[in-house]
A and B are shown apart, each in its own frame.
Chain A
Amino acid sequence: MSNFALLWTVARWEFMRYFKWKQELLMFGILILFYLLLGFGQAALTFAKQQQEHQVEVLDLAELPLIYGADGQLKLSRIDAGEEAWSREKVGLGTIDALLIVRSRDQVELIAHSEPRFLEQLQTVLNTARRDAFLADASITPAQFKDWSSKVELTLSFHEAGEKPSTTSEKILVYVLLVMLLSAVMTSFAYFFVSITSEKQARVAEQIVSAIPTQVWIDGKILGISGHGVKSVLYLLLVSGLVLAALERFAPEVLAQAGAIAPDRIVVGLAFVLLGILFWSAFMAGFAATIDDPNNSARSTVMFIPILPVMLAFFTVDLPELGVVTFLSWFPLTSMTFMPLRYALLDVPWWEAAGSFALLGAATWAMRFYAGRIFRAGMFMYGKEPSLRDMLRWLGTKETRAL
């Protein structure tokens, strides 16, 4: 049996060990339900806010030019000074939302029954009334003021050789890619952790290594368990597709505002995400083999290492043109997040993406090779965890067979 056939056998086994149709359908259903609830919840909240009317009684001692009656969700009603006590009582009973006492143009008190959600709107109304009062004192009409304070019309265009600004869609693409990578790597990590430490504890390793070369085993493992990471990417893609289809159907203006994304930016981004999953999977496969007791090992924290490049990328979404971002987009430990970021937001030449991809590919190849050496030695070390020195020594030890 060829090594390729063995690799496929192992990869399939490792993937299917944790793939349960019922569980997957349930998980996908929950994901869809989550998005539906999120969408419906947001719409319901907006609708409820639009329907809510806030009643505020106003005791105006400064004669501000306020407009009474309903203005959006805010309804102002004027009262006399003799009605203040009764109005305060109504606030206490909750029959009105608040009492506003305007003592002067600069001093206004709001007595509210509870947290006033209309405060921002009320502040605008008061500012406008105060401004109009000063304008009236200076014999300036509101129309004149509006005319003077209107903005200069500034037209923005970009030189053909320059960098065009990124659209909202492109930024969303970066966020989606980062979330995909993070979700996939964490998913794979969890499975690697469970799979390898349980195999080590169940002493399955001897059985397998007596049948196939260790490198084939770890390669199959990386492919099979990474499959769960890729699966989480597919789920996110599917859900994203459904969200886009829903927006297209119900709110096409949102899509139009967001702007289009060039397909190559999606393809390049996904390619880096997939290779990034393999890279971190290879890392974890080697590392998990050095953990003796998963319940007591402090090494579990290493799972957080791949979060770093994702977090760094999140912070630089608005600064893709920085020199350090360019460096990180080439560096194999970070290129899986920074190159998709640059490629989506800037006009990065294709050769840069190809070069960075090749470097990441080479790093992934080396990682699975050296992870194989650590894995081989780590899987047969029982009762203690190897030191960093042990692991460095293993890196220089090639696989040997006695027979």
Chain B
Amino acid sequence: MTDQPLLEAHQITKQYATVRAVDALSFSLMPGQIVALLGPNGAGKTSTVRMLIGLTRPDSGHIVYRGLRGESDRVSAAELGYLPEERGLYVDQPALAQILYFARLRGIDGRAARAAAMDWLARFDLTTRANEKVSALSKGNQQKIQLISALLHRPRCVILDEPFSGFDPINQELTLNLLRELRDAGVGIVLSAHQMALVERLADRVVLLNHGAEAMSGTLAELRQQAGLARKLTLAFAAPVDAAQLAHLPSVVAVERLADDQVGLLLDERADLNALLAAIGAGAALCSVQSEAIGLHEIYLRAVGGTPAATPHPVTDSATQELPA
């Protein structure tokens, strides 16, 4: 990694009629770094991405790319790779033809583009389908074509809106490894995704957005600290328990009733596990205890208010907890 950021957003704000889509958002992207933008629908992710790729201009604030600032300092198309959230493909055209077209628009000459395209298609196991129309491909394969189009010209900075969309677990792993490779090669990546488990494994930094503004940002460890969450305990009891009573124990931030005899506890970083388990065991017979570090999922829900965990000592029913789409 070099010291100069690849991309910096300084207090960018975007207003659409009465809605403030992005509110004074700042973050930076270093070469060889992956920054994830997370947030519920309408949080301002797509508006932010649109400003980053230059489709719209911030109403206030500014974006700096490799030290260049201002509207006239357009990023060279060859340096930027972009994967839109929705399919941005000509469905009536052959897959290879449009990969080559997008590569030409990014400044790659025909022969080099063809060679690179064939390599990418082989990597995604699509060589035999290169000349098929996009409409004949499955959603996942269309996403692969889109991903190839965004990466074929070897950009320095890649902005990916929902890169895992439409992929099965195997292809999600493939994409995950691919993005890691790019990062290791010094490419800076901004991604917006809903697959928390994948983002957790991939992102170096996370920016959590809510109502257009930054709710939290940092590494996963920093986010845990900011959220005041450290661990999650999953407890199984010999008999049904009153989950609400557990909410008043020290260091318990939230309680989740998983079943009549199963409870999940979210603990802050000061939690003394021995003392806590002793206190719980004194009130009810424990069958099993499972402890794990807090994940992005819980932090996300807490940050965007998707669960009563945002209020002190809440109790929730696991069946009601769904990640916003």
Q: Is the CB of B105 within 8 A of A6?
A: yes
How far in angstroms is the closest Cβ of chain A from B199? 22
Bound-complex Cα distance A6 to B77 (A): 11
How far in angstroms is the closest Cβ of chain A from B15? 15
Contact of A212 among B63, B71, B77, B87 (CB under 8 A): B77
How far in angstroms is the closest Cβ of chain A from B319? 34
> Does B58 reach chain A (CB closer than 8 Å)?
yes
Interface string of B34-74 (1 = CB under 8 A from A): 00000000000000001111111110000101001001111
Interface string of A255-280 (1 = CB under 8 A from B): 00000000000000000000000000
Interface string of B68-93 (1 = CB under 8 A from A): 10011111011010101011111111
Closest to A214 in B: B55
Q: Is the CB of B80 within 8 A of A9?
A: no
A211 / chain B contacts, CB cutoff of 8 Å: 77, 80, 82, 102, 105-106
B58 / chain A contacts, CB cutoff of 8 Å: 402
Interface residue tally of chain B, by bracket? 35 or more
Bound-complex Cα distance A97 to B58 (A): 87
Interface string of B92-134 (1 = CB under 8 A from A): 1100000001101111000000000000000000000000000
Q: Is the CB of A203 within 8 A of B57?
A: no
Contact of A210 among B54, B71, B107 (CB under 8 A): B54
How far in angstroms is the closest Cβ of chain A from B142? 11
Closest to B108 in A: A1
Question: Given that A401-B71, A403-B53 are contacting pairs, would A202 and B105 also be in contact in the complex, using a CB cutoff of 8 Å?
Answer: no
A208 / chain B contacts, CB cutoff of 8 Å: 105
Q: Is the CB of B77 within 8 A of A203?
A: no
Chain A residues 205 to 245 lying within 8 A of chain B, measured CB to CB, are 205-212
> Does B149 reach chain A (CB closer than 8 Å)?
yes
Q: Is the CB of B88 within 8 A of A207?
A: yes
Interface string of A376-403 (1 = CB under 8 A from B): 0000100000000000000000001111
Q: Is the CB of A202 within 8 A of B89?
A: yes
How far in angstroms is the closest Cβ of chain B from A360? 31
Bound-complex Cα distance A9 to B98 (A): 12
> Does A17 reach chain B (CB closer than 8 Å)?
yes
B78 / chain A contacts, CB cutoff of 8 Å: 1
Bound-complex Cα distance A402 to B73 (A): 9
A202 / chain B contacts, CB cutoff of 8 Å: 87-91
Chain B interface (Cβ < 8 Å from any Cβ of A): 50-58, 63, 65, 68, 71-75, 77-78, 80, 82, 84, 86-93, 101-102, 104-107, 149
> Does A204 reach chain B (CB closer than 8 Å)?
yes
> Does A331 reach chain B (CB closer than 8 Å)?
no
How far in angstroms is the closest Cβ of chain B from A300? 20
Chain A residues 180 to 203 lying within 8 A of chain B, measured CB to CB, are 198-199, 202-203
How far in angstroms is the closest Cβ of chain B from A357? 33
Contact of A13 among B56, B86, B101 (CB under 8 A): B101
Q: Please classify the interface of chain A as helix (H, G, I), strand (E, B), loop, or mixed, using the class held by over half of its residues.
A: helix
Chain A interface (Cβ < 8 Å from any Cβ of B): 1, 6, 9-10, 13, 17, 198-199, 202-212, 380, 400-403
Bound-complex Cα distance A9 to B110 (A): 11
Contact of B84 among A13, A17, A207, A400 (CB under 8 A): A207
B75 / chain A contacts, CB cutoff of 8 Å: 403
How far in angstroms is the closest Cβ of chain A from B323? 24
Q: Is the CB of B88 within 8 A of A209?
A: no
A9 / chain B contacts, CB cutoff of 8 Å: 101, 104-105
Q: Is the CB of B88 within 8 A of A212?
A: no
Bound-complex Cα distance A6 to B108 (A): 11
B72 / chain A contacts, CB cutoff of 8 Å: 401
17 more contacts with CB within 8 A, not counting A1-B104, A403-B65, are A1-B77, A1-B78, A6-B105, A9-B105, A203-B87, A203-B88, A206-B82, A207-B82, A209-B54, A210-B82, A211-B77, A211-B105, A401-B57, A401-B74, A402-B71, A403-B52, A403-B68
Bound-complex Cα distance A209 to B74 (A): 12
Q: Is the CB of B51 within 8 A of A402?
A: yes
B71 / chain A contacts, CB cutoff of 8 Å: 400-402
Closest to B64 in A: A403
Closest to B101 in A: A13
Bound-complex Cα distance A175 to B53 (A): 50
- By Cβ-Cβ distance, the 8 closest A-B pairs, closest first, are A207-B88, A401-B54, A1-B107, A211-B105, A210-B82, A210-B53, A203-B86, A211-B77
A209 / chain B contacts, CB cutoff of 8 Å: 54-55
B104 / chain A contacts, CB cutoff of 8 Å: 1, 9
Q: Is the CB of A402 within 8 A of B105?
A: no
Q: Is the CB of A17 within 8 A of B77?
A: no
Bound-complex Cα distance A212 to B104 (A): 10
Q: Is the CB of A204 within 8 A of B90?
A: yes
Closest to B90 in A: A204
Contact of A402 among B52, B84, B88 (CB under 8 A): B52
B73 / chain A contacts, CB cutoff of 8 Å: 403
Bound-complex Cα distance A285 to B180 (A): 41
Closest to B61 in A: A402
Bound-complex Cα distance A380 to B92 (A): 21
Q: Is the CB of A207 within 8 A of B51?
A: no
A13 / chain B contacts, CB cutoff of 8 Å: 101
B54 / chain A contacts, CB cutoff of 8 Å: 209-210, 401-403
Q: Is the CB of A210 within 8 A of B55?
A: yes
How far in angstroms is the closest Cβ of chain A from B217? 20
Bound-complex Cα distance A205 to B50 (A): 12
B65 / chain A contacts, CB cutoff of 8 Å: 403
Q: Is the CB of B105 within 8 A of A206?
A: no
Closest to B75 in A: A403
Can you offer 17 A-B residue contacts whose CB atoms are under 8 A? A9-B101, A9-B104, A10-B105, A198-B92, A204-B88, A205-B88, A206-B82, A207-B84, A210-B53, A210-B54, A211-B82, A211-B102, A400-B71, A402-B54, A403-B53, A403-B73, A403-B75
How far in angstroms is the closest Cβ of chain A from B149? 7
Question: Given that A1-B107, A9-B105, A203-B88 are contacting pairs, would A210 and B57 also be in contact in the complex, using a CB cutoff of 8 Å?
Answer: no
A402 / chain B contacts, CB cutoff of 8 Å: 51-58, 63, 71
Bound-complex Cα distance A325 to B92 (A): 45
Contact of B149 among A6, A207, A212, A400 (CB under 8 A): A207
Q: Is the CB of B84 within 8 A of A206?
A: yes
Closest to B62 in A: A402
Contact of A206 among B74, B88, B92 (CB under 8 A): B88
